[in-house]
Every structure is written in C-alpha cells, then in structure tokens.
Amino acid sequence: MKPHRAFSRICPVCKSKVNILFKKLLPHYSFNNQEKLLRCLACGFTSIFPFPDKKQIMSIYSGDNYITNYEKLDIKWAGGKRKTADYLEKKLTEIEALISNKGKLLDIGDGSGAFLAFAQTSGWQVKGVEVSPEWIKYAKKNFGIKLFQGELKQASFPSNSFDLVHLNHVFEHVYHPIELLIEIKRILKPGGYLIIEVPQEIYSLSELIQFNLSNKILLRPLTNKLLLQKRAIPQLPPSLHLFFFTVKSLKKLMENSGFQVKTLKTIRRNKQTDKTIYAWERIARLVYALEKKLHLGPNITLTALKP
C-alpha cells in the first residue's frame, strides 16, 4: 500500500488530524476504481476516500441480483453454505457461555436468517434488521424468520429492550458507524452486551504477506518459494466495505461511544482457507501462530457491555 499524500481530516475515532491518503490496496476495494484509502496515523482507522454516495450503496443492496452475483463466485454466505452455518452455531454457543440469560437478541444485518434461526431454537427471543429485500425473502422462505427491512434507527425499537445486539461482518458496511453505536446503546438494556465481528482485511498477517511482500521486487524470489503463485486473486464485485478496522481503532471507537470492552481478539474462521496460498504446511502453521500472538488474524471479534 503506497502513500499518496498527507491529508488533514479529523479522525472520527481518536480525533487526530494526522491522516495519510493511500492508493487503494486491492482492486475490489472500490466502487468505480477512483477511491483511495484514508488512514489515521494515530489509531489506524481507515476508510474509503472519497465516500461513495449512500444512494449508490443502497441501490446495490436492493438490487435483484445482490445475492446471485456473489453466489456465482462461490462466496460462502452465512447459512448458504453448511461450513459457514456451522461457524455461526459455534459462535452462538460461545455467546451463551458468556451470557447465561437467554433474553431478547437483535441481529443487525442478519442476512440469510441462519443465525437468528439457531438462536430461536436455543431459546432466545429474536429480532432482525436487514436492508436487502432479497435476504429478507430468503430468511422468511428458508428459516421462517421475519426481518425488519431498513436501517436500525428506522425500526424504532424501545429503549432498554435488548439483552444482546449482534453484528457479524456488518459494521464495516455501515455508512455512519458512530451513529449506529449510539442507537445500539439506546436500545440495549443496562448490562446488555454488544458483540461485533469485522474483517481485519488490510492489516492481517496473511494479507500483508500475500499482497505486500509478494509485490516487492527484492523479496519476490523468497515469497515465490513460500506462496503458491498459481492462486488467482478472485475478481470480486465492487466492495461494500466502507471502513477497515484494526484491534486498536475498534477498541477506541467502542470506548468513545460509552461501551466497556470485555473481550477483544483476532480469529481465523477456517484454517483450510489458505491451503492454496502457502506452499508448505509448516509456513501456514507459523503464520497462524503469529496471527494469534500479534493479534493480526483476518477477523476481529469484540464483546462490549453497556454500563
């Protein structure tokens, strides 16, 4: 990721004015091949720059081919593929180990309805919010889950009404993350939990190895031996990710919004994912060990409490 130029703008997370504008790292982090990445040098908070128009974003979510465009690329949606659905069941078990009271659960950006279906079977009272009409139809048809269509604030849930609010790979898509956190805090009961998982896609160790080191001429002979160069980077549809988080920036954002961070770690959902990337099994195991130790895994998971 090459620096483009310095740029002065107040960071919404840490209020620093020191930002650097970067040329985009990957081709699919773009709506029209013009965007760059704006990163705060103080906390690492990164966003697309300039921001795409919100109507443009919503038109993609509302399109008739929103799901099918990704299914053609064999992208594993939650509930669409058994392996991903298994991950959600495991995640619910981990949540229930933390929260003994199975009260009211809200899933924001629920998608297929799989997570809420698991939770309902387990004894939770469930609600879901989703902007895509395609997903709403899918959830109703496949899981019998009725989702509210729209954004969280439009649902007008009563204050102090939920024991748990959950977002799984949704927060990086949100146009106004701070406003969303304020609304989540309003509808959570005192002592209620917020659980968020986001990708650490620019700063994860695997991505740094795959896309940064392999592009440096002096290191290319070494990385060619460690990586399987035959692996093609998938040509994804335009990314809907607006923000790119680090452990530090996500923690700071939660604390600034009045939440108490209880747990924060990076995880890898499936260690089989990189079998086509690393040429040697020992290299893969070393990368995974370093990810865990350095908090550089491909996903960040956070549990926070409303005081």
pLDDT tens digit sequence for 252-306 = 999 999 999 999 999 887 655 555 566 677 777 888 888 888 888 889 999 999 9
Fold of the domain spanning 3-305: Rossmann fold (3.40.50)
Contact 54, 175 (CB under 8 A): yes
H or E segment at 128? strand 125-130
pLDDT of residue 77: 45
Positive or negative: CA dihedral 114, 119, 123, 129: negative
pLDDT of residue 1: 46
pLDDT of residue 224: 63
DSSP state at residue 149:
E
pLDDT of residue 61: 73
pLDDT of residue 112: 84
pLDDT of residue 78: 41
Please list the ranges in the chain whose pLDDT falls under 50: 1-3, 27, 73, 75-80, 229-236
What is the rounded CA–CA span in Å between residue 292 and residue 265?
8
Widest CA span in the chain: 59
pLDDT of residue 76: 46
- pTM (2 decimals)? 0.84
